[in-house]
Amino acid sequence: MRVCVTGGAGFVGSHLVDRLLADGHDVVVVDDLSTGCVENLASAWDRIEFLETDIRDLARLDQAVAGCEVVYHQAALAAVARSIEHPMDVHEVNVTGTLNVLMASRAAGVRRVVIASSSSVYGDTETLPKTVSMPTSPRSPYAAGKAACESYCEAFYASFGLETVALRYFNVYGPRQSPQSLYAAVIPLFMEHMLAGRAPTILGDGEQTRDFTFVGDVVDAVVRSGTAERAPGLVMNIGCGARISIRELANSIANATGFTGDVKHEPARTGDVRHSLACIERTRDVLGWEPQVSLDEGLARILAHVRAENNDKAVVS
């Protein structure tokens, strides 16, 4: 079938594009390349239709989703910290952009829209694991925007019959996750520093915990959400159902990279939650999905990817 991936040049989006092509689908990719990059699509470039545009441009979205059966909406300005600094920019891309995706999809007769939401919508609740029945309690503009996107999905399903599925990603990691952004995720940052023999920085005391999920497992859940019969109208958690402290994570990456130095500490970021752990019972039940990649295996895959990239650069230079 013909499908569209917004944010398809990004980290999760490009892995999703690879999977959809492998499954035999015709894929349209929408990305403005503000945070994504064409290098992520190098192996897919001659097999996709690529539209470089901003999801705030409704007319271009109408063009992109025409004839598509499913839209996988991955485009966003990510990171809690960015939303604290630039709340209006994040709102316009994440919320207005999502509304545009829903409007364009409805007008084009798209069957289903699967959107990337976030575990940040739960806020800093003490109850663990976080279940989809819990009320949302956003602590940042980013989280508030994702909660709004979920509400728009619910409204479009109820009002117009457009099938929608919202997936609350916990901490996704894997190859192609860039350490270069000011708002880079912790695993690529730690790995880059340790491979270079530099001390990584832990924000806070390091005892905060996260539920890390390998990107291939996340993509599998996303793809299943595009066809699962009982998925429309639902919100589901995408996590491993296990948590690790940031201090323990740093130790695991040190073991994988051979780093023997110390770590640095800086104050925790505003808006960050203390503990995070996904309940994935609904996801298992509705999608028949189970995470397959352990953290140690996932870190090994990233390390192999980074070393292969470095070897390629050395050959070119």
Widest CA span in the chain: 57
Residue tagged active-site, from 142, 152, 157, 173:
142
Helix (H, G, I), strand (E, B) or coil at 86: coil
Distance CA 129, CA 279 (A): 5
Distance CA 36, CA 132 (A): 30
Alpha helix positions (H), 86-214: 87-91, 97-108, 141-160, 186-195
Residues 6+ apart with CB under 8 A from 167: 114, 115, 116, 117, 221, 222, 225, 235, 236, 237, 238
Q: What are phi and psi of 18, to 5 degrees?
A: -60, -45
Tokens, residue 222: 């996303």
Distance CA 145, CA 153 (A): 12
Residues 6+ apart with CB under 8 A from 123: 136, 137, 138, 139, 143, 273
Give helix 246-257 / helix 295-316 axis angle, nearest 10°.
Answer: 50
Helix (H, G, I), strand (E, B) or coil at 225: helix
Residues 6+ apart with CB under 8 A from 109: none
Length of the chain, in residues: 317
Q: 169 an active-site residue?
A: no
Catalytic residues: 142
